[in-house]
Amino acid sequence: MHVRVPTKLNIAVSVLFIPSRPRNVATSSLGSGIEGKLDKIFSELSAIKKQKSEFIASLNNYGEKIDDFEKKLKVVESLDNKMNLLNAEMESYGVHNFKLKNKVMDLHQNLKLNGIPESRNENIIDIVKNVASKLNFASVESCLNDCYRVHSVSKDSSRSRPIVASFKTTLYKSDFRKAYKRIKDLRTTALGFTGFER
């Protein structure tokens, strides 16, 4: 009888390699997340800081413009005050000029009558009307603004003061002068002043 002796069994045990879980996996992932958030925050803060700087620069620029505007406004106000003063001065000159024009116009429209004797309580308008009637100048009263004797320059003068006839227009004055030239020789006796031959 043949007995077979069993050989030694070699049992190969295959061991599956399972890598161990790193202890710092969760910590590393958490750290990278925080770092990302911090980077984002720093980036946003940097952007805010830049915007703040730009805003401050813009405010300074506006401040300079406001200062410049205020300076220009003061210049405008000063010019406006000067213009008001000039307008007032021009208005004053205008009034003065108007008065001068009236005086010049009066001089152009005035006619001086010399040599007419002067008496107390005389009626100047009646004297001028008498002269006009001798010159055949009708309705002289309606042509006159005023008539009067001039103020004497010298109180010691014995001569009669001239009579000024102020006509309404230079045309009336011219017509009166022409009427006088046509008569050529008008003496005071013709006006009713006896004892005077002028």
* pLDDT tens, position by position, 72-99: 888 888 888 888 888 888 777 777 766 7
72, containing H or E segment:
helix 25-109
What distance in Å separates the CA atoms of residue 98 and residue 184, rounded to the nearest whole number? Answer: 37
pTM of the model: 0.44
Residue with tokens 């009336």: 172
Paired tokens of 66: 């406001």
More confident residue, 27 or 178: 178
Which of 120, 118, 116, 119 lies closest to 130, judged by CA?
116
Angle between helices 170-183 and 124-134 (to 10 degrees): 60
* 24-36 per-residue burial string, b: 16 or more CB within 10 A, e: under 16: eeeeeeeeeeeee
- What does the pLDDT read at residue 28? 55
- What does the pLDDT read at residue 197? 43
